[in-house]
Amino acid sequence: MAGIKTLRESGQAQKEIKNSIFIAYAIPVETEEEAKSFVSSIKERHHDANHNVSAYLINRDNMLAMKYDDDGEPAGSSGKPVFKILEMKELSNVAVVVTRYFGGVKLGFGGLARAYREAAIEAIENAGIIEVTEKSVVKIESDYSDMDTVSRFAEQYGTILKTDFSEVVSFTVEVDSDYKDSFQEKLINITKNRVTII
């Protein structure tokens, strides 16, 4: 699987537009349950707000979950524009909530959409966007005579998580899933088939 784009950490932003206060929160999430619980926690924290607009998109392990909620704002004026930001920035496994304290001046449909969108973008940018690749764990057993070769090669391609020394040397190596097959083939070639891949 190619890399996905998600957030480095949680981000926050606050904007005042025509006396209304918009507070945006964006976080990386692993599951839909985590996204729902984040939305609930923000709604509890800002229970006195007029609206807590939310959107999330989770795409992992062949499971896609997406949702947006206008939370009482005119239909399509707030949750959808926030969700469109996630799509436009090609983000996955992200939840966003934008809280609004109404300041007495109506913004109109376009003004609302823009205010929610801008607050969400700022929170996302403050969180930082990163690309994450799927990882695979490979277990390798080698003789002590090939230990240095295997170790150097494994560090070139990935990360050695663990090394065990017994009658043979066992390496637990994490590599990008995309390169797992070629990693194993090359390792077998450079050790002239003297390693065992479990």
Query: Each residue of 86-98: pLDDT tens digit?
Result: 999 999 999 999 9
Residues 126, 139 within the same domain: no
pLDDT band at residue 166 under the 50/70/90 scheme: very high
Predicted confidence (pLDDT) per residue in 61-81, tens digit: 778 899 999 999 999 999 999
Q: What CATH number should be reported for the domain holding residue 12?
A: 3.30.230.30
Portion of the chain with pLDDT greater than 90, in percent: 82
Residues 15, 106 within the same domain: yes
Which of 113, 132, 151 is the last residue in one of the domains?
A: 132
pLDDT for the residue numbered 62: 74
Over range 29-39, report the average pLDDT. 95
pLDDT for the residue numbered 1: 43
Instruction: Kindly list the distances between the CA atom of residue 178 and the CA atoms of 11, 48, 50, in Å, as whole numbers in the listed order.
Output: 30, 48, 47
Using CA atoms, how far apart are residues 173 and 142, in angstroms rounded to an integer?
13
Looking up tokens 């930082």 gives 128
Residues 88, 180 within the same domain: no
Query: Is the pLDDT reported for residue 154 higher than 50?
Result: yes
Residues 14, 41 within the same domain: yes
Contact criterion met (CB below 8 Å) for 102 and 112: no
Helix (H, G, I), strand (E, B) or coil at 3: coil
Residues 76, 124 within the same domain: yes
DSSP class of 106: -
Instruction: Kindly list the distances between the CA atom of residue 141 and the CA atoms of 5, 168, 182, 188, in Å, as whole numbers in the listed order.
Output: 34, 6, 17, 11
Q: What CATH number should be reported for the domain holding residue 192?
A: 3.30.70.240
Query: Is the pLDDT reported for residue 37 higher than 70?
Result: yes
Residues 102, 21 within the same domain: yes
pTM: 0.72
Q: Which residue in 72, 180, 52 sits closest to 116, CA to CA?
A: 52
Query: Is the pLDDT reported for residue 149 higher than 80?
Result: yes
Identity of the residue numbered 17: I
Identity of the residue numbered 10: S
* DSSP H/E element including 90: none
pLDDT band at residue 2 under the 50/70/90 scheme: low
Residues 140, 115 within the same domain: no
Residues 103, 141 within the same domain: no
Boundaries of domain holding 189? 135-197
Identity of the residue numbered 68: Y
Predicted confidence (pLDDT) per residue in 107-148, tens digit: 999 999 999 999 999 999 999 999 887 788 999 999 999 999
How many structural domains does the chain have?
2
Which of 83, 111, 132 is the last residue in one of the domains?
A: 132
Residues 114, 151 within the same domain: no
CB neighbour class for 5 (10 Å; exposed up to 12, middle 13-18, buried from 19):
middle
Which of 93, 108, 132 is the last residue in one of the domains?
A: 132
DSSP class of 76: T
Q: Which residue in 23, 32, 7, 34 sits closest to 90, CA to CA?
A: 7
Q: At what angle do helices 79-88 and 108-127 cross, to 10 degrees?
A: 40
